[in-house]
């Protein structure tokens, strides 16, 4: 996106500032902002892991009202805006009232999330999640009653209605389909969803191989791993984003590459939950595009996620500059590759409307203060490397979305009210 189209929204003098294209957060569960700091202790279980964390997350999800979801989402989106994120892919799976009863409007909670993004000023792809069961040969979990729509026809009817309702958002809000995972969506349901998405040219996002247990169960049910199942059933495409895709074989990596699918890595959440490390080096070798997501909102800093793609591999490989392409030794090559994950690849993943100088549409961008201590001493040759590997969020000064400045000099116009309402929500939930 070209910030040159936005000369009227910032002061003429930008001395000491650099302008960069807006960051794109391709995978978010905004409501999970309410559990930040609430799960960082050992439970009574002998072993804490993703599955024990999930139970704590469910207990919070079960208590949220529509207005709570709005306030939690607005808090998450505010943090995104303050960190330079201008668009988000919201993987939304809260559909029903507590106890599982349907609202009169089955998209009520999705619209609360869209409303929150609109009020903060972010673009949003509402990736409406399908959740049909608790798992293969698993008894229904009462904590998942707010998620579940057992019938593919009902799910697609609700998606179509939401699609129609968002038609007037003019590039600020649109939909995608999101089968939660192979454990939550059986194959026949999954095929109907993907066929619908293909007909409507919608993005498809899905949790894939996040947990080793998920891979084992998929093999038990279908005789194939999750990626192999998707590939052999013809469900992968350039519109498909495999979220996490950690526990994969080299053959699975090639399958994703051949389908021109995207992988969305969420390094901060993946290390927080002990999921494992996404094999980014293998994806890059095969030409797979990698986008980034903040996922559980334990920390909202997409540039931190970008640098962790490299840093996690350094710990594994005990070497440096692991993700450098070929023999390229230029100073900014690695930073440019990681920055592309946080921008261009994210845009493609969520089907972000593109703007060009020729289109006349204003672009999305953010500015950084070159005098911020985290950037002090950076030169033109290594500025991008400083930004990707060392930028502090205090350096981000302005954020512009669609020609509208939503952050000015490091502050959002609604910041105090958003924070106060979120603090009140937390007090009600946890006090």
For the stretch 221-263, pLDDT in tens is 999 999 999 999 999 999 999 999 999 999 999 999 999 999 9
Q: What percent of the chain has pLDDT over 90?
A: 81
Higher pLDDT, 171 or 38: 171
Name the strand (E) or helix (H) holding 375. none
Higher pLDDT, 355 or 361: 361
pLDDT at 208 over 70: yes
Q: Which residues, listed in sequence order, are joined to residue 24 by a DSSP beta bridge?
A: 87
Calculate mean pLDDT across residues 211-215.
94
pLDDT at 145 over 70: yes
Mapping DSSP to helix (H, G, I), strand (E, B) and coil, where does residue 167 land? helix
What pLDDT score does 431 carry? 86
Question: What does pLDDT average to over the chain?
Answer: 92
Does pTM top 0.85 for this prediction?
yes
Enzyme catalytic residues: 244, 295
Residue 48 token pair = 């804490």
What pLDDT score does 38 carry? 84
Strands 396-401 and 404-408, sheet pairing: antiparallel
What pLDDT score does 5 carry? 43
* Half-sphere CA count of 98, side-chain side, radius 13 A: 11
pLDDT at 120 over 70: yes
Residue 197's nearest CA partner among 182, 180, 177, 181 is 177
Higher pLDDT, 39 or 285: 285
**379-415 pLDDT tens trace:** 999 999 999 999 999 999 999 999 999 999 999 999 9
**Angstrom distance (rounded) from CA 307 to CA 315:** 13
Q: Which residues, listed in sequence order, are joined to residue 204 by a DSSP beta bridge?
A: 177, 240
Note the Cα 374 to chain centre separation in Å. Answer: 26
What pLDDT score does 427 carry? 96
DSSP per residue, 215-277:
HHHHHHHHSS-HHHHHHHTT---TTEEEEE--S--HHHHHHHHHTT-EEEE-HHHHHHHT---
- Report DSSP state, residue 143: G
* Calculated CA dihedral for residues 84, 93, 266, 299, nearest 10 degrees: 50
Please report which confidence band the pLDDT of residue 329 belongs to, taking 50, 70 and 90 as the band edges.
confident
Please report which confidence band the pLDDT of residue 369 belongs to, taking 50, 70 and 90 as the band edges.
very high
What is the arrangement of strands in the sheet containing 17-21, beginning at the earlier edge strand? 17-21, 365-369, 396-401, 404-408, 411-412
**Angstrom distance (rounded) from CA 278 to CA 207:** 13
What pLDDT score does 95 carry? 97
What pLDDT score does 60 carry? 87
Please report which confidence band the pLDDT of residue 4 belongs to, taking 50, 70 and 90 as the band edges.
very low
What pLDDT score does 385 carry? 97
Calculate mean pLDDT across residues 78-86.
98
Calculate mean pLDDT across residues 91-120.
96
**42-70 pLDDT tens trace:** 877 667 777 787 888 888 889 999 999 99
**Angstrom distance (rounded) from CA 282 to CA 268:** 20
The CATH fold assigned to 23-362 is: TIM Barrel (3.20.20)
Domain spans of the chain? 23-362
pLDDT at 355 over 70: no
- Number of Cβ within 10 Å of residue 193's Cβ equals 22
What pLDDT score does 24 carry? 98
């Amino acid at each position: 996106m070209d910030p040159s189209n936005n000369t009227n929204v910032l002061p003429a003098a930008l001395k000491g500032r650099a302008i960069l294209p807006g960051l794109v957060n391709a995978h978010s569960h905004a409501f999970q902002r309410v559990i930040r700091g609430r799960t960082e202790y050992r439970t009574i279980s002998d072993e804490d892991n993703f599955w024990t964390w999930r139970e704590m997350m469910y207990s919070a999800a079960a208590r949220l009202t529509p207005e709570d979801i709005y306030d939690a989402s607005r808090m998450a989106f505010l943090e995104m805006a303050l960190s330079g994120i201008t668009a988000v892919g919201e993987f939304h799976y809260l559909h029903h009232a507590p106890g599982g009863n349907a609202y009169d409007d089955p998209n009520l909670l999705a619209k609360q999330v869209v409303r929150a993004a609109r009020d903060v000023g972010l673009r949003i792809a509402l990736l409406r999640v399908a959740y049909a069961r608790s798992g293969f040969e698993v008894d229904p979990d009462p904590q998942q009653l707010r998620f579940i729509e057992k019938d593919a026809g009902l799910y697609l009817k609700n998606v179509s209605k939401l699609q129609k309702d968002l038609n007037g958002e003019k590039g600020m809000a649109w939909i995608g389909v999101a089968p939660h995972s192979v454990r939550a969506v059986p194959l026949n349901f999954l095929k109907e969803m993907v066929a619908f998405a293909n007909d409507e040219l919608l993005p498809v996002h899905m949790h894939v191989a996040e947990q080793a247990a998920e891979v084992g169960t998929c093999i038990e049910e279908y005789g194939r791993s999750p990626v192999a199942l998707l590939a052999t059933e013809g469900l992968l495409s350039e519109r498909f984003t495999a979220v996490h895709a950690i526990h994969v074989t080299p053959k699975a990596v090639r399958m994703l590459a051949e389908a021109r699918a995207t992988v969305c890595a969420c390094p901060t959440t993946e290390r927080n939950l002990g999921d494992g490390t996404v094999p980014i080096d293998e994806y890059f070798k095969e030409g797979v595009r990698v986008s980034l997501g903040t996922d559980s909102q334990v920390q909202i800093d997409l540039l931190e996620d970008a640098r962790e793609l490299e840093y996690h591999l350094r710990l594994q490989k005990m070497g440096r500059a692991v993700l450098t392409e070929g023999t390229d030794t230029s100073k900014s090559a690695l930073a440019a590759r990681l920055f592309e994950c946080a921008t261009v690849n994210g845009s493609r993943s969520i089907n972000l409307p593109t703007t060009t100088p020729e289109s006349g549409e204003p672009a999305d961008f953010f500015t950084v203060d070159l005098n911020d201590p985290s950037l002090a001493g950076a030169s033109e040759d290594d500025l991008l490397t400083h930004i990707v590997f060392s930028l502090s969020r205090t350096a981000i000064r302005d954020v512009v979305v669609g020609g509208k400045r939503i952050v000015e000099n490091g502050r959002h116009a609604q910041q105090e009210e958003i924070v106060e309402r979120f603090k009140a929500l937390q007090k009600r939930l946890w006090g």
